[in-house]
Chain A
Amino acid sequence: GAGVSQSPSNKVTEKGKDVELRCDPISGHTALYWYRQRLGQGLEFLIYFQGNSAPDKSGLPSDRFSAERTGESVSTLTIQRTQQEDSAVYLCASSFAGVSMYEQFFGPGTRLTVL
């Protein structure tokens, strides 16, 4: 497709369950980012992948959060043993390269609700 896609668009889960969120970046984009947006708050950086370099995981809030990326394509964000405070919109973005001159293109997000 032409843009960044994310799936599912909505996910409702029970506390304690694991969830996987998927991001398909724009083809050719080497940089991929995950952000979290809680209700009424700004975007929090979670993790950043750039090519084959080790990812920048400095924004992951706990060890229940992890992410993988296969080459320069799909990425999955996994949240284990979900908690109610994990409820948020999770946004994925990609860019041609991880430098400021390149625009980040955002997906529509996955809205996660933990009951």
Chain B
Amino acid sequence: GNSVTQMEGPVTLSEEAFLTINCTYTATGYPSLFWYVQYPGEGLQLLLKATKADDKGSNKGFEATYRKETTSFHLEKGSVQVSDSAVYFCAPYNTDKLIFGTGTRLQVFP
């Protein structure tokens, strides 16, 4: 069946460090791929998306590239800020629904 595997958290970084959160998936066909973020005390919100192979989604300094050959959609940011502390969810869209990973908590310290 469809599933998502994310790296386990928490990921703890110092401000301005480089971030990678790995995400791999199994799905039927070639789904659109999403990263959602949940900031403390707030609801889930879309961070970025990619709809076809080799597309790169980007927003707020975050990037992720749709890699069909490795069925991956790793999230990266070159220089994290304290305000990036949140839980990040990888989610392919398949058969009318999002399939969410378990989420990865990111903690950034000054």
Contacts and interface: CB of A to CB of B under 8 A. Distances in A.
Interface of A: 3-4, 33, 35, 40-45, 48, 50, 56, 59, 91, 93, 98, 100-101, 103-109
A100 B105 CA distance: 25
A104 B96 contact: no
Contacts of A42: 4, 89, 100-103
A50 B93 CA distance: 15
A104 B51 contact: no
Contacts of A4: 43
Contacts of B99: 45
A98 B101 CA distance: 20
Nearest to B4: A42
B101 A45 contact: no
Contact of B93 (A3, A41, A100, A109): A100
Contact of A100 (B31, B36, B101): B31
